[in-house]
């Protein structure tokens, strides 16, 4: 089944951004070699979609298509070669990453709808598609996945997936609804980055958080 060209381009852009961002995170966090950089970049880019397809008992779609593998590998190799010198590019890379997040959340949720899952399950699978790769990467780096700790990463993905699934429940899903869903996810993510928004934390941690209590 051939995708429309625009969808393919967006999907490959998201894959590239995830691989680049994932590999950069790995390069900066721990000492890994070229095998680690490429593996962690590709896991970040493709891990979420693989979890989704495993849950749907389908062959992993991106893994079967050499274009995704190639784009993910190139993104990771760029991080390997130029990672020491890319700190000025943090903002454009994070914006690209937000594009990938938005796109994966919407397409992941709609794939789950196509396979007959209920709306709640489809929203969860869309969110997992968007955040699963980074979660596996962080687990392999031996640290608590950042999506579970701070920032707004799963929340915008959940909202974007939710808008797409709700629109399909009312028979309104189409190019317009997909763009709106992805745009809402994108803007929440980018605003969250800009203003340092966080999701609520349990009360036990709130008490411990203020610097004054840490002396």
Rule CB under 8 A: say whether 2 interacts with a copy of itself: no
Q: Which residues, in sequence order, are CB contacts of 19 under 8 Å at separation 6+?
A: 41, 42, 44, 45, 71, 72, 73, 74, 75, 76, 79
Nearest to 153 by CA among 87, 105, 209: 105
| CA neighbours closer than 13 Å in the CB half-sphere of residue 3 | 14
Token pair listed for 208: 């411990």
Q: With beta carbons less than 8 A apart as the criterion, state whether 189 and 153 touch.
A: yes
Residue 200, Ramachandran bin (φ over 0: left; ψ between -120 and 50: alpha; else beta) = beta
Nearer Cβ to a copy of itself (2/6): 2
- Shortest Cβ distance from residue 194 to a copy of itself (Å)? 18
Give the interface segment with a copy of itself, choosing from 13-21, 30-38, 92-100, 178-186 (CB under 8 A).
30-38
- Shortest Cβ distance from residue 107 to a copy of itself (Å)? 19
Q: Which helix (H) or strand (E) holds 152?
A: none
Read off the DSSP letter of residue 147.
G
Rule CB under 8 A: say whether 201 interacts with a copy of itself: yes
- Shortest Cβ distance from residue 122 to a copy of itself (Å)? 11
By CB under 8 A, name the one of 4, 5, 66, 196 that touches a copy of itself.
66
Site string for a copy of itself, 88-127 (x = CB under 8 A): -----------------------------xx-xx--x---
Rule CB under 8 A: say whether 170 interacts with a copy of itself: no
Binding residues vs a copy of itself (CB under 8 A): 27-28, 30-37, 39-40, 50, 54-60, 63-64, 66, 69, 79-81, 83-84, 117-118, 120-121, 124, 135, 139-145, 147-150, 153-155, 198-205, 207, 209
């Amino acid at each position: 089944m051939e995708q429309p060209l625009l969808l393919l381009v967006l999907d490959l852009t998201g894959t590239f951004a995830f691989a680049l961002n994932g590999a950069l995170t790995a390069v900066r966090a721990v000492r890994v070699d070229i095998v680690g950089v490429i593996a962690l970049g590709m896991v970040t880019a493709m891990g979420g979609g693989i979890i989704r397809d495993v849950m749907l008992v389908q062959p992993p779609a991106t893994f079967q298509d050499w274009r995704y593998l190639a784009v993910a590998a190139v993104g990771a190799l760029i991080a390997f070669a130029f990672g020491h010198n890319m700190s000025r590019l943090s903002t454009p890379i994070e914006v690209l990453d937000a594009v990938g997040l938005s796109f994966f959340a919407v397409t992941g949720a709609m794939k789950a709808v196509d396979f007959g899952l209920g709306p709640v399950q489809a929203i969860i699978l869309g969110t997992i598609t968007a955040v699963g790769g980074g979660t596996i990467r962080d687990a392999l780096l031996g640290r608590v996945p950042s999506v579970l700790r701070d920032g707004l990463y799963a929340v915008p993905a959940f909202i974007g997936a939710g808008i797409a699934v709700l629109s399909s429940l009312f028979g309104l899903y189409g190019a317009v609804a997909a763009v709106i869903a992805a745009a809402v996810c994108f803007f929440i993510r980018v605003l969250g980055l800009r203003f340092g928004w966080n999701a609520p934390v349990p009360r036990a941690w709130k008490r411990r958080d203020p610097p004054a209590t840490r002396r």
